[in-house]
Amino acid sequence: MQEYLATYGISESIFNYLIMPLLIFLARIGDVSINTLRIVFVMSGKKYIAPIMGFFEALIWLLAIGQIFQNINNPLSYIAYSGGFAMGIWVGMTIEEKLALGRVLVRVITPEPMPQLVEYMKEKGHRFTIVGAEGRYGRVQLLFTVLKRENLKDFVAKVKKVNEKAFYTIESVKRVSEDDFTLTEDRPNFATRFLGKIRK
């Protein structure tokens, strides 16, 4: 690569202390971002897309570490490698939040029934279960529902609007048995059909 860049008047020092660290930084962002998403796919049971992402993650990592060994005396390579790792985590988490992959289990506990929330869930087609329970201060209502993550923000906002003191917990769900249901059928939601398919 140095010979190719030399034809454009780029000196060896600029290549070693600017271009190469930048390439290592970008490569590390790429493989760590993929790693973050791969973990999410593994936890979501996406056994077909996760291995493919693992392949590209390993390939990019090998390219980056190979350049580190070729420039082992260049301290900027180590800084670029570490900086790319940190930035890759942030980029991966940001992409994962935008994709809103998977589903979550939400539990809502309130002292009194929330008919407004129940009507809201019926309108949105969310399946839910409400049971009576015993809390520290007496009888409470316990609502269970499983939502697609893309709907979580609106649901939590509705819960707070109905009862700002409602207690709720949220957990990730790996799989949902819904072969006979169509209310929560996945649909493309993030610009392309491919991203819609990997949610299934």
Residue 20 shares a structural domain with residue 65: yes
The parent domain of residue 178 ranges over: 103-197
Residue 11 shares a structural domain with residue 84: yes
Residue 107 shares a structural domain with residue 88: no
Instruction: For residue range 93-134, list pLDDT tens digits in order.
Output: 888 777 766 788 899 988 888 889 889 889 888 888 888 888
Q: Where are the alpha helices (DSSP H) in 71-151?
A: 75-99, 115-124
- Split into its structural domains, the chain has a count of 2
Amino acid at 67: Q
End residue of a domain, out of 99, 130, 158: 99
- β partners of residue 133: 140
pLDDT at 181: 42
CB contact at 8 A, 74 and 20: yes
Q: Which residues of the chain have pLDDT under 50?
A: 179-194, 197
Residue 94 shares a structural domain with residue 112: no
pTM score, two decimals? 0.59
pLDDT at 87: 94
The structure tokens listed for 181 are 């249901």
| DSSP H or E stretch at residue 27 | helix 20-43
End residue of a domain, out of 67, 99, 131: 99
End residue of a domain, out of 40, 75, 99: 99
